[in-house]
């Protein structure tokens, strides 16, 4: 994507963030751009509180496609961090090797099978942030307007 196209994309996104237009639809679940904005605010607040003196975080996502993951990806881009996607369907050895190579600052994931999660937790010495935490913060708006 060229620089001009990228600027246009983010300008369009910025212009839509206050709208009630639908951003995400999955069966009966619908989220609008304002929901996206609130989620991104919570996400950036989390990053600011936990990584105050660090720029260009390497953030790994391991998840299926869902609103929270899409929103996290936008949050990663808008905060100028580095997004490293890892498929939830990869074998555990491959996931571990990718984590060894990338040395992420943060891992955003959702529940994966217990055995995989247990092994990943013992391997990863960095902060692991489960999507459920962000979802709870988003829904309860605990950190809304704290920026």
Residue 24 is predicted with a pLDDT of 92
What are the tens digits of pLDDT across the range 59-83? 998 887 888 888 889 889 888 899 9
* Residue 47, domain CATH: 3.40.50.980
Residue 90 lies in a domain: yes
- Pick the range with the lowest mean pLDDT from 2-11, 22-31, 59-68: 2-11
Residue 101 lies in a domain: yes
Q: Which domain holds residue 17?
A: 3-140
The pairing of strands 82-86 and 29-32 is unpaired
Residue 1 is predicted with a pLDDT of 55
Most confident of 75-84, 89-98, 113-122: 75-84
Number of domains the chain is built from: 1
Give dist(CA 130, CA 116) in Å, integer.
Answer: 14
Residue 146 has pLDDT above 50, yes or no: no
Residue 85 is predicted with a pLDDT of 93
CB 57 within 8 A of CB 51: yes
Residue 147 lies in a domain: no
What are the tens digits of pLDDT across the range 37-58? 888 888 888 888 888 878 889 9
* N-term to C-term CA, the chain: 31
Residue 119 is predicted with a pLDDT of 55
């Amino acid at each position: 994507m060229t620089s001009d196209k990228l600027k246009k994309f983010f300008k369009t996104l910025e212009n839509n963030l206050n709208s009630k237009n639908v951003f995400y639809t999955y069966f009966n679940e619908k989220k609008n751009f304002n929901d996206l904005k609130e989620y991104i605010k919570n996400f950036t607040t989390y990053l600011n509180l936990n990584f105050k003196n660090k720029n260009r975080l390497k953030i790994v996502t391991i998840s299926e496609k869902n609103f929270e993951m899409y929103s996290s990806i936008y949050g990663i881009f808008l905060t100028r961090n580095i997004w490293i996607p890892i498929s939830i369907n990869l074998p555990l050895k491959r996931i571990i090797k990718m984590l060894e190579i990338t040395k992420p600052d943060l891992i955003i994931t959702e529940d994966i099978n217990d055995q995989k999660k247990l092994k990943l937790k013992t391997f990863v010495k960095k902060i692991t942030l489960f999507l459920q935490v962000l979802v709870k913060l988003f829904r309860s708006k605990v950190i809304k307007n704290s920026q």
